Amino acid sequence: MKVLVVGAGIAGLTAALRADALGHDVEMLVKGRLREGSTAHAQGGIAGEYGPGDSAALHALDTMHAGDGHGDPVAIAALVDGAAATLDALIDAGVPFDRAADGSIARGLEAAHSLPRIAHAGGDATGRAISDALTARLQASGVHVREQAFAADLMTDDGRVHGIRLVDGTRIGADAVILATGGAGQLYPFTTNPAGTTGDGIAMALRAGAPVADLEFVQFHPTVLIDDAGAFLISEAVRGAGAVLVDAEGRRFMFDEHPDGELAPRDVVARAVARQALAQGSPVRLDATDVAGLAEHYPTIDAELRRRGYDWAAEPVPVSPAAHYLMGGIVTDTDGRTSLPGLWAVGETARTGVHGANRLASNSLLEGAVFGALAAEDLGAPPPAFAGHDTPLPRSGGDRVRPVNDGPGFSRAALQHVMWEQVGLLRDDAGLADAVRTLDTWDAPQPRTPAEQEDANLLVVARAVASAALARTDSLGAHFRLSSALEKPTLNQSALIGVR
């Protein structure tokens, strides 16, 4: 079977390697170079290393709880049941997970996990270690890799996907397409995500008529340093090791908000950080001065902070929430199947249902690997009949497609501004309605280049996110609606962002 895998993060790499091992003829398309997606930037680690007193069942409960009860129990069961085999496969691929003194895999703690169960490598360089190991495997495999191959659209015939059209017009036919194109952090001006996270897979799926869901759930990470050098994540693992959040007076405030303090679910911490900063007119700080061995345990973060002039061993560092992860995406079942025959979706571009309304820390790498493998194993199965849901899911809004014309008004910066201010961490009815109207008046330029295609995709995804957020009138997980516009502060100000 000829299989096209689009994307070389943990999800695409896992799917391609497994499909190759199963004897399929696999070609991988990557829009830039290998190792450029979010995977290589992952810091904290991968969940699923269960120690004494821990279990897959407890991990499932934590996942459902962090997701505010919105997760799909069947998908969550598939996620945690796949954890042990996933970690074994990564070790087998050569990922050098950090070890405890007794030689077992060291287990880190992150927010909303009942117990330490995060495997990490190189301290805070887990994503790089996984990306390097799997990419080395890829290069030694039979998978044909095409870099600088920007997938623009799915080729469909009578609803069946049979290939990919690249931005340069090249058409590549296939019996199966696996989208593994990652997230959409570039919807926002402040994001932990690397440059290419423009929601391409979701935009392609929407244009082809595949249902998407849960796009209103955008995760903002609470501890991001934002200064003139850009946004840089300071891992939740540092809070797991004892770092605390303090206000302008040096007072801890998280226990006023949640009994788990700094280790409350990520959405709760992000909102508390924003509110505190805005109330005091000065950024919240992450105080890691009592955490021993910062340079040893978090060498990547330590080097970057020092490069930017912060000595975090000596003084607290200003942090702010920034866009980090998209819980929603292309609807799939637990084999990664979408509703379109011939199309699978895995990793951050997919909505398997495991994350609910707010992803549990370090579950994304696990999801990419578990469902990447399951999708590859599903390829040879009898004709795909989408088994995701008994009844068709309503599509998130904004999925209609219009021809894109050179029109006034639109720019990526303008889109990001609207998304940050009106479809961001704190939302209200009037702002969401205004965002939907504004996004609707814009047309992106007719895409002829990769950059133009990314802009066009961002606009498609922004419309879908804003419409989905407007449609969900209650607050749930990361989707938080203020009761009145009067309450709504502007988030784009120096109180929130730690610009020095």
Closest CA to 37 of 149, 179, 183: 183
Left (φ > 0), alpha (ψ -120 to 50) or beta: where does 45 sit? left
Closest chain position to ligand FAD (CB) = 9
Of the pair 136, 485, the CB lying nearest ligand FAD is at 136
User: Contact with ligand FAD (CB under 6 A): which of 56, 60, 178, 180?
Assistant: 180
- What distances in angstroms separate CA 44 from CA 113, 131, 161, 254, 367, one per listed residue? 13, 14, 36, 21, 15
C-alpha span between 278 and 246 (Å, rounded)? 14
| 235 lies in the binding site for ligand SIN (CB under 6 A) | yes
Gyration radius from the chain CA atoms: 21
For 457, the token pair is 């995709």
Structural contact between residues 175 and 121, judged by C-beta atoms closer than 8 angstroms: no
Window of 31-39, 265-273, 405-413, 461-469 that interacts with ligand FAD by CB under 6 A? 31-39
What character string, x for contact with ligand SIN (CB under 6 A) and - otherwise, covers 244-273?
------------------------------
Residue with tokens 């003829």: 25
From candidates 10, 145, 243, 425, binder to ligand FAD by CB under 6 A: 10
Among 86, 349, 362, 457, binds ligand SIN (CB under 6 A): 362
- The closest alpha carbon to 303, from 314, 295, 291, 315, belongs to 295
Interaction between residue 193 and ligand FAD (CB under 6 A)? yes
291 binds ligand SIN (CB under 6 A): no
- Residue 182: name the closest of 429, 378, 348 by CA: 348
State CA 449 to chain mean position distance. Answer: 25
Out of 18, 266, 427, 481, the active site residue is: 266
Q: Would you give the binding string for ligand FAD spanning residues 101-140, x where CB under 6 A is met?
A: -------------------------xx-------------
Q: How far apart are CB 309 and ligand FAD at their closest, in Å? A: 20
* Least Å from the CB of residue 192 to ligand FAD: 4
Identity of the residue, 374 or 495, whose beta carbon is nearer to ligand FAD in the bound complex: 374
Piece in contact with ligand FAD (CB under 6 A), picked from 60-68, 329-337, 359-367, 431-439: 359-367
Contact partner, 276, from ligand SIN, ligand FAD, none, Cβ < 5-8 Å per class: none
Asked if 395 is an active-site residue, the reply is no
Per-residue binder mask for ligand SIN (CB under 6 A), 44-83, x = binder = x---------------------------------------
- Burial label for 116, CB within 10 Å (0-12, 13-18, 19+), is middle
- Of 38-46, 53-61, 88-96, 250-258, the segment contacting ligand FAD by CB under 6 A is 38-46
Is 82 a binder of ligand FAD (CB under 6 A)? no
Decide: is 193 part of the binding site for ligand SIN (CB under 6 A).
no
Sheet hosting strand 176-179, strand order edge to edge: 144-146, 25-29, 2-6, 176-179, 343-345
In whole angstroms, how close is the CB of 237 to ligand SIN at the nearest point?
Answer: 5
Binding site for ligand FAD (CB under 6 A): 6-12, 29-32, 36-39, 41-46, 126-127, 150-151, 180-183, 192-193, 196, 200, 233, 325, 347-348, 362-365, 368
